[in-house]
């Protein structure tokens, strides 16, 4: 749900420190290339730049994105420390800063107000324009962050982010270069030029991967799959997999270019990562076949009505399923929820009773969030004011078609009368 925009929201403050740093690095890198073109730089320095670029990229894709933003797998402490260090070397903010904005991006993809790098605001804005401003994201406080706050690696990296990033991003290449007598060349190429490569390749995921490419899984938002970007971004360019963010892969097919996925699998085999999440095959197949039938339908019909007619097939399934559900009173609902430790986690969304107990660990937003919106029987001491309908219908997330399908599957009843839940 896109709320009305007031003038102050449309004109956020310029983030001067960010803008000056960002532009200065660009200027310094280009001046460095002019003074020390690659043919004047030692081979070890050029290799170092390449390694820093790739390692930082993995810090962002495997660490910041899949591990921390989407909890797509779990990792041992040493791996979390390494990923936090590599991500900091990429100079894209702390894990906490990055993840909260990325979670907003997934919840409100393309929304010009709530998506920090909304593609709907143009290619330049989604690529790097957003970096220059300091908007107040009104939904940011509602994004779940308990997992981040409870991870000592995240809190330590957040507190000491600037010295860690400077040490690894600028000082370390210079020191390495000194070892082989080319400190300046290493600093220019490993510290500055590789920085631009890391930044712009990552930013392309927000810009080009929402602009050009294929949409095999969904067309509900602008995310697209693009193999060239996948190569440049350690696999993140298969971006149309947006609807399954809790999956540790950016594409389920063996043909998807996704080195980040391969690294996570290798870590799992070595016992350094575990609990790798995969979207259910059934859900992926259903997303693929929905898009195939839509393309087929669109190809058959040249009129614009094709879209609305293909869009209604899902809604038809919805109403059919709903009609078959039993009608419950609030008493029946309370009995179903139960008490104590065996209490079920149940949401009431649009008068439909949804038992999310089996879905808690699958939910991309995490189990804590679902529990906050769970139905509490009358007399429960805890707060009962959270409105799951509002949250599901766009207040907290623009849920995807895949999420709606899953919701139907775990809906157990309908409320007999309009309630205040």
Contact residues for Zn ion, defined by CB under 5 A? 245
What is the distance between the alpha carbons of residues 171 and 306, in angstroms, rounded to a whole number?
Answer: 58
What is the distance between the alpha carbons of residues 90 and 350, in angstroms, rounded to a whole number?
Answer: 44
> What's the DSSP call for residue 168?
I
Among residues 32 and 90, whose Cβ is nearest to Zn ion?
A: 90
Minimum distance between the CB of residue 186 and Zn ion, rounded to whole angstroms?
Answer: 33
> Phi, psi at residue 84, to the nearest 5°?
-65, -40
Minimum distance between the CB of residue 283 and Zn ion, rounded to whole angstroms?
Answer: 17
Among residues 245 and 366, whose Cβ is nearest to Zn ion?
A: 245
Minimum distance between the CB of residue 1 and Zn ion, rounded to whole angstroms?
Answer: 19
Helices (H) and strands (E) in the chain, counts: 20, 8
Minimum distance between the CB of residue 103 and Zn ion, rounded to whole angstroms?
Answer: 8
Beta bridge mates, 274? 74
> Phi, psi at residue 336, to the nearest 5°?
-65, -40
Find the distance separating the first CA and the last CA of the chain, reported in whole Å. Answer: 20
Among residues 169 and 245, whose Cβ is nearest to Zn ion?
A: 245
Among residues 28 and 403, whose Cβ is nearest to Zn ion?
A: 403
Beta bridge mates, 411? 354
Among residues 104 and 421, whose Cβ is nearest to Zn ion?
A: 104
Minimum distance between the CB of residue 323 and Zn ion, rounded to whole angstroms?
Answer: 36
> Which H or E run contains 74?
strand 74-75
Minimum distance between the CB of residue 26 and Zn ion, rounded to whole angstroms?
Answer: 24
Which single residue is written with the structure tokens 């810009």?
207
> Cβ neighbours of residue 243 under 8 Å, at least 6 residues apart?
217, 218, 220, 287, 400, 401, 402, 403
Angle between helices 95-107 and 152-159 (to 10 degrees): 110
Minimum distance between the CB of residue 264 and Zn ion, rounded to whole angstroms?
Answer: 14
């Amino acid at each position: 749900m896109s709320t009305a925009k007031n003038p102050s929201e449309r004109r956020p403050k310029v983030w001067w420190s960010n803008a000056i740093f960002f532009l200065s690095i660009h200027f310094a890198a280009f001046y460095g290339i002019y003074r020390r073109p690659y043919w004047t730089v030692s081979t070890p320095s050029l290799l170092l730049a390449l390694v820093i670029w790739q390692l930082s990229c993995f810090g962002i894709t495997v660490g910041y994105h899949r591990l921390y933003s989407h909890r797509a797998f779990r990792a041992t402490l040493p791996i979390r420390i390494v990923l936090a260090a590599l991500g900091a070397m990429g100079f894209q903010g702390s894990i906490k800063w990055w993840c909260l904005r990325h979670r907003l991006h997934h919840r409100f993809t393309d929304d010009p107000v709530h998506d920090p790098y909304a593609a709907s605001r143009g290619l330049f804005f989604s690529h790097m324009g957003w970096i220059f401003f300091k908007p107040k994201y009104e939904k940011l406080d509602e994004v779940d962050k308990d997992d981040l706050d409870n991870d000592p690696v995240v809190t330590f990296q957040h507190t000491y982010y600037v010295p860690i990033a400077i040490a690894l991003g600028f000082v370390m290449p210079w020191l390495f270069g000194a070892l082989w007598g080319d400190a300046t060349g290493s600093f220019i190429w490993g510290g500055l030029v590789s920085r631009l490569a890391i930044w712009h390749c990552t930013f392309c995921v927000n810009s080009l991967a929402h602009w050009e490419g294929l949409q095999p899984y969904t067309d509900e938002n602008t995310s697209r799959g693009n193999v060239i970007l996948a190569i440049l971004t350690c696999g993140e360019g298969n971006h149309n997999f947006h609807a399954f963010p809790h999956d540790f892969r950016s594409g389920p097919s063996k043909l998807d270019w996704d080195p980040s996925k391969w690294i996570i699998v290798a870590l799992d085999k070595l016992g350094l990562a575990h609990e790798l999440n995969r979207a259910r095959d059934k859900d992926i197949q259903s997303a693929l076949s929905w898009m195939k039938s839509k393309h087929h339908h669109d190809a058959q019909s040249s009129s614009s009505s094709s879209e609305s007619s293909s869009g209604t097939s899902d809604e038809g399934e919805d109403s059919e399923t709903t009609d078959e559900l039993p009608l419950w009173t609030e008493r029946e609902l309370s009995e179903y929820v139960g008490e104590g430790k065996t209490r079920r986690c149940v949401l009431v969304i649009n008068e439909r009773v949804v038992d999310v107990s089996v879905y808690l660990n699958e939910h991309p937003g995490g189990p804590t969030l679902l529990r906050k919106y769970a139905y509490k029987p009358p007399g429960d001491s805890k707060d009962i004011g959270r409105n799951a309908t509002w949250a599901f219908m766009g207040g907290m997330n623009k849920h995807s078609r895949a999420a709606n399908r899953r919701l139907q599957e775990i809906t157990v009843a309908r409320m007999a009368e309009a309630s205040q839940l």
